[in-house]
Every structure is written in structure tokens, then in C-alpha cells.
Amino acid sequence: MTKLNLPDYKLQSEEVKDRFERLKQRPVTLEVKNLYKHFNSRNGQVTALKDINLKIHKREFVCVIGPSGCGKSTLIRILAGLEQASTGEVLLNGNAVSKPGPERGMVFQGYTLFPWLTVKRNVMFGLIESGYGEGEAEAEALQWIDLIGLKRFAESYPHQLSGGMKQRVAIARALANKPKVLLMDEPFGALDAQTRAKMQAYLLEIWKNIDITVFFITHDLDEAIYLADRILVLKANPGEVQELIEVPVPHPRNPDQLLSPEFLATKKRLEELIHPPTTDTDEDHLNLMRMVHVDDDVGSVF
């Protein structure tokens, strides 16, 4: 088998270098400073997040990956104001974040639409809560529903929609209040591969056309590289920053790039970080009792 020689994942074209130089000159929208999160357990205090520091610039798309238990969901909930940090702070445009607010929209992995409301009413909900009048909220909601391509489903109920359609409505609902930051906690994790690919394309198109900064959690390495400007890699126990990768894949993104040298080199680096080589002393292994005949080796059947 021929070994694939990949370029260093840090190598960038002049086009990509220029893009990152311009990105760094934009204002910082979201900043995390010296953030720690501790939980109490029966065995004492557990540190879920340790000394997280991060600056996210205006209209940047940042993905977060890491092994299970590294604190990805805890971090995004703190950014949303749904949980409080033990120490440290989160700043949005220089102002401290301490509770949920309309300047941050949130999309979860589960389908969180109100089942008793139509698509239109789901998108209108946050607008009315923010003080919009009925007519104004309806007009605004219909614009967002049209943007996500679901205009003819405006009067449908969630149970009448596919999984991908539900998440498009959830995105529209989150964006309707015109937040500065869109927080997404594995929003496409429950979708099949084909629908997931469509949703990624929808999200990139929306992000390209509106003034929004995106903070996106995923377990999927391909998804992170395909979507992100930068990828924040967390390690577990405790959750802390392992590396912050500038994705060398140029924009605009398209599915053909999944096989490009830049894409594959970045994926190789992520796999090295997320799945480092194991040793015989590692605790994370299976203790199995053989329950078949010794000569019944499935590995040699073919």
C-alpha cells in the first residue's frame, strides 16, 4: 500500500494567510479569560474545565472538538449563560456574561421546538418575548422561514417535519432575535449523513450572508474542518485547551475539498490529538473473557 505523504497541517496558501490576517484585525466578539469550572462529587471536587482562554473575532466560525468528558457542552452552556464558571469570565463585546440574553442564540442537538406551535409560531416565540408586536413578529419570522427554505411549511407542526427541517427551524428561531453569536451544541449529531451534509451547506450559506459569529461543538472531524475558520481542541480530565488550529482549507468550502491535501493533513493532525497512540499501561481497555473456541478466529475467516 502506498503511503500518503501529506503536507504539514500548518502550511497555508497566501490566500488563507491573508484571510487570517484580516480576521485577526476584526474586533473580538467573544472572549474567555482564565475560565475554570469545578463540580463537587462523592469523591471530592472535580475540575471539568481548566484555565480556558480564547478570543473569537467578529464573524468568525469556531468549532470545538475533543474526547467525551472534556467539557465541551459545559463550556458552551457557560457561554450561553445557562451555567456559571467557578472562576474566570466570559466577555461579549467587552461586557461580562452572567445569564442568558438575546445577543446569544442557542441551538441544541435535540429538537427543542415547541410541539404545540406551528413553524411560524415557533420562530415568532422569542420575538414576542422580546417585545415585538404580533404583526411585526410575524413579518420577521416569515423572512427567516423563507431564508431557510421552509416557506411552504410555515403553518406545519414539528411532528410533520423531518429532522433536518426541524433543525432549520431551530436555527431560524435562534437567529430571529438577531444575536451577535450563534452557539451550537452538536446540532447535526442526530441526523443521517446525507441530511447532515445538506445542513452544513445551509449553515455556511446563512453564515456567509448575515452578521453572525458561530461557536459550534461537534464530534465529527470532517464537519469541524469543513465548517471552521479555527478549531479549538480540548483534552479531557480536566478539560483544557490542547491546541487551536487555523484551518488551511480555503473558502468558499465545497464537498470536493474533503479529499484535498490541506483537508487530509488537518484531519490527520486532529486524529493525532483526539486519538493518540495507546500503550499497554493505559487504563482505557476492555477486559474480555474468551467465549468462543480458540481456533474460531474471525480475523482469519477471510
Residues 6+ apart with CB under 8 A from 92: 29, 30, 103, 104, 180, 181
CA dist., res. 196 & res. 163, Å (int): 10
CA dist., res. 189 & res. 223, Å (int): 10
Residue range(s) defining the domain that contains residue 92: 14-103+179-300
Quote the number of domains for the chain.
1
* pLDDT at residue 276 in the model: 77
Is 172 within a domain?
no
Position with higher pLDDT, 189 vs 90: 90
* pLDDT at residue 289 in the model: 67
Is 228 within a domain?
yes
Is 282 within a domain?
yes
For 164-202, the pLDDT digits (tens) are: 899 999 999 999 989 999 999 999 988 888 989 988 998
Between the alpha carbon of residue 114 and those of residues 69, 86, 117, 124, the distances in Å are: 29, 32, 6, 11
Residue 281 pLDDT > 60: no
Residues 6+ apart with CB under 8 A from 39: 45, 46, 48
Is 33 within a domain?
yes
Burial label, 199 (beta-carbon count in 10 A; 0-12, 13-18, 19+) = buried
Is 23 within a domain?
yes
Report whether 31 contacts 55 (CB < 8 A): yes
For 206-250, the pLDDT digits (tens) are: 899 899 999 999 999 999 999 999 999 999 889 999 999 999 999
Q: What is the CATH number of the domain that holds 80?
A: 3.40.50.300
Strand order in the sheet with 240-246: 104-107, 181-185, 213-217, 61-65, 230-235, 240-246
Terminal Cα distance for the chain, rounded: 19
pLDDT average, residue stretch 122-131: 91
Residues 6+ apart with CB under 8 A from 241: 51, 52, 53, 54, 232, 233, 234
Residue 1 pLDDT > 50: no
CA dist., res. 178 & res. 171, Å (int): 11
Which pTM does this prediction carry? 0.88
DSSP states along 205-220: HHHHHS--EEEEE-S-
Is 210 within a domain?
yes
Is 148 within a domain?
no
Report whether 137 contacts 125 (CB < 8 A): no
pLDDT average, residue stretch 24-49: 91
Determine the residue type at 156. S
Is 236 within a domain?
yes
* pLDDT at residue 294 in the model: 61
Using 50, 70 and 90 to split pLDDT, how confident is the model at 2?
A: very low
